[in-house]
């Protein structure tokens, strides 16, 4: 009887711990969402009516984990071909890219003319990472004695080191 009571107590404690962890994560997400919305409101207040070269700030808002910037542009305005890469480079240069990457916040720039949608740049949070990965040649494990019939071929970033696995079922190690 004592063992059953101990087991029930342990299971109950584990379930309550998992529930508490879920509550903590949910509250953390809610707090971050609130702070992101506050950031959008701050930007909106500070930039309302600002004009640069005929482009007017219109709005800043949050949708999920995406910060949306809206601008009113003249009829003769066209986006730069490399506009998205320029925006990413500016975020990296001013140091704000880390915030967006580490917190999983994406950014969208929307452009309107006479309140009609014209164009947008959407930048996923992963694109703010400060590392570039150039892929090298394919690495295949086909026919390797440890592959157990698995035929896998993939390109590995050139700055990764490739070594044979040192465990029974590990074919290659990438570091």
What tens digit of pLDDT does each residue of 41-100 get?
999 999 988 998 899 999 999 999 999 999 999 999 988 888 899 999 998 999 889 888
Which of 113, 128, 143 is a domain's end point?
A: 128
Return the residue matching tokens 């087991």.
7
Q: How many domains does the chain contain in total? A: 2
Residue 12: predicted pLDDT: 56
Same domain assignment for residues 78 and 152: no
Q: What's the domain range around 89?
A: 2-128
Q: Where is pLDDT greater, at 6 or 90?
A: 90
Same domain assignment for residues 28 and 66: yes
Q: Which helix (H) or strand (E) holds 57?
A: strand 55-63
Return the residue matching tokens 């999983």.
104
66 in Cβ contact with 105 (< 8 Å):
yes
Same domain assignment for residues 10 and 81: yes
What is the torsion angle, in degrees rounded to the nearest 10, for the CA atoms of residue 43, residue 45, residue 48 and residue 50? -60
pLDDT digits (tens, 9 = 90+) for 51-67: 988 999 999 999 999 99
Q: Model pTM greater than 0.85?
A: no
For the domain that residue 21 is a member of, what is the CATH number? Answer: 3.30.300.250
Q: Where is pLDDT greater, at 73 or 6?
A: 73
First to last CA, the chain: 52
Count Cα neighbours of 168 within 13 Å in the Cβ-side half-sphere: 0
Same domain assignment for residues 76 and 143: no
Instruction: Give the whole-angstrom CA distance, residue 110 versus residue 105.
Output: 16
């Amino acid at each position: 009887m004592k063992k059953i009571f101990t087991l029930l107590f342990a299971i109950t404690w584990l379930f309550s711990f998992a529930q508490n962890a879920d509550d903590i994560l949910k509250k953390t997400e809610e707090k971050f969402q609130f702070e992101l919305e506050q950031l959008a409101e701050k930007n909106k207040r500070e930039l309302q009516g600002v004009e640069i070269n005929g482009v007017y700030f219109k709005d800043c808002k949050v949708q999920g984990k995406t910060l949306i910037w809206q601008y009113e542009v003249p009829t003769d305005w066209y986006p730069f071909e490399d506009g998205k890469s320029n925006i990413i480079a500016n975020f990296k240069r001013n140091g704000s890219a880390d915030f967006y990457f580490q917190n999983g916040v994406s950014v969208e720039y929307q452009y309107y003319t006479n309140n009609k949608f014209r164009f947008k740049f959407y930048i996923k949070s992963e694109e703010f990472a400060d590392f570039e990965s150039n892929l090298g040649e394919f690495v295949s494990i086909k026919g390797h004695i440890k592959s157990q019939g698995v035929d896998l071929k993939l390109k590995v970033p050139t700055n990764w080191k490739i070594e044979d696995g040192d465990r029974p079922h590990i074919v290659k190690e990438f570091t």
